[in-house]
Chains A and B, each alone.
Chain A
Amino acid sequence: MSLSDAVVQQKYEVKQIQGEELVRIMEMGLTPGSICRVIRRAPMGYPMEIKIRGYLLSLRKKEADMIEVIPV
């Protein structure tokens, strides 16, 4: 599933990232195998805030769409 469909408070493992900005997203710590938790989402769903490697990161829809995750 894509991180765009993720539910608040649930933890996910990053499986893979695809798309043009792939490296930029991975540089922020979202590498395959890393665990993130969705902290909150804006009223229309975006931006969404996740916790990854101990810090909070905000993602746009475009970016969340690129990230494939599975719930853990």
Chain B
Amino acid sequence: MSKTNLAIQKDLLRQPSTITLVGNPNTGKSTIFNALTGLRQKIANYPGITVERKMGSTIINGVLHKVIDLPGAYSLNHKKADERITYETLIGSYDYEEKPDLLLLVLDASNLERNLFLASQVMDLQIPILMVLTMSDIADERGIIIKPEQLSSAWRVPVISVNARSKNCDTQIKEALIEKGVAVPKPFQWNPTTPLRKAVERLDKEWLSKHTQLPKRARPIEALRLIAEGGLEDSFYQYSEGGKAKKLIESLQNFLEAAGENPTAAEVVQRYRFISDISEGSVSKEHSNELT
């Protein structure tokens, strides 16, 4: 497939930018962070919670960029403190900190399906992305062969494979950022069912867009979260007309149930369904990799 259907951006890095690393725990994110920033890093705590956020800087083509390493997360449905930081940073609700200009979305190639779950949520946020596959050597050993080109055309973002432990991993990533660039993924590529899509649109239009300050790109994913949670208990941003939201969420849950979907599970189920389908084209298993 041609690259023409990727919305590639290459000029972003001419200006000083904030490059943010995001991915599941244990994907090599911090190794990449260390390689990119060398010793120019500092560690900060997020207010009120004892989770580390690491900041550093790196030079690409003579321009100094800020690099942020977010806590590893399995999902953006932030219930745990560290995942919450990741979510809030990505939707841009920490106002004392710049929004990420571009993301290095780090995925463990030996465990691609579960990693793609978080990735599919992150890609809904419409931030420019370069997808970075790590652990390809382990995947190889298990007979799992990932085709970066296919992954790239399936999700419409540039993809590179790096060995995070190699000495020149920072160079590989910098070269990819220059040569392949980054792309803004299309939101909702995972084909939400029609009822789920309708429910999200209604919550966005009738409440989120009117009674919160959330940026437009973050509202659909927040709508999904609220519908799955069934309420506003866990919200971290200012809003008005909470009573209206509760009623609306309840009626949307009933609407989904009437359509035969479990409101709590609909998003997760559909994302994994899409990921399994897509993985058939971009992942192949040479031999049985069952562990004994």
Residues of A within 8 A of B (CB): 17, 22-24, 26-29, 31-32, 34, 37, 39, 51, 53-56
Residues of A within 8 Å of B111, CB to CB, are 53-55
Q: Are A31 and B269 in contact (CB under 8 A)?
A: yes
Q: Are A27 and B74 in contact (CB under 8 A)?
A: yes
Q: How far is the CA of A56 from the CA of B290 in the complex (A)?
A: 11
Chain B, 56-86, CB within 8 A of any chain A CB: 74-75, 77, 79
Residues of A within 8 Å of B291, CB to CB, are 39, 51, 56
Q: Are A23 and B74 in contact (CB under 8 A)?
A: no
Q: Are B114 and A29 in contact (CB under 8 A)?
A: yes
Q: Are A23 and B114 in contact (CB under 8 A)?
A: no
Q: A23-B264, A54-B112, A54-B289 are in contact. Are A29 and B228 (CB under 8 A)?
A: no
Residues of A within 8 Å of B144, CB to CB, are 54
Q: Are A29 and B272 in contact (CB under 8 A)?
A: yes
Bitwise interface map of B from 89 to 121 toward A, beta carbon under 8 Å scored 1, else 0: 000000000000000000000111110010000
Residues of B within 8 Å of A34, CB to CB, are 272
Bitwise interface map of B from 253 to 288 toward A, beta carbon under 8 Å scored 1, else 0: 000000000001100110011000000000000000
Within the complex, what minimum Cβ distance (angstroms) separates A45 from chain B?
Answer: 20
Residues of B within 8 Å of A39, CB to CB, are 291
Residues of A within 8 Å of B264, CB to CB, are 22-23
Q: Are A28 and B114 in contact (CB under 8 A)?
A: yes
Q: A29-B117, A54-B112, A55-B114 are in contact. Are A23 and B268 (CB under 8 A)?
A: yes
Nearest opposing residue in chain B for A29, CB measure: B114
Within the complex, what minimum Cβ distance (angstroms) separates A31 from chain B?
Answer: 5
**Cross-chain contact of A32 among B79, B142, B269 (Cβ < 8 A):** B269
In the complex, 29 of the A-B residue pairs with CB atoms within 8 angstroms, ordered by the A residue number, are: A17-B265, A22-B264, A22-B265, A23-B75, A23-B228, A23-B268, A24-B75, A26-B265, A26-B268, A26-B269, A27-B74, A27-B75, A28-B74, A28-B114, A29-B272, A31-B265, A31-B268, A31-B269, A31-B273, A32-B265, A51-B290, A51-B291, A54-B111, A54-B112, A54-B113, A54-B289, A55-B110, A55-B114, A56-B291
Residues of B within 8 Å of A28, CB to CB, are 74, 114
Within the complex, what minimum Cβ distance (angstroms) separates B147 from chain A?
Answer: 16
Within the complex, what minimum Cβ distance (angstroms) separates A18 from chain B?
Answer: 10
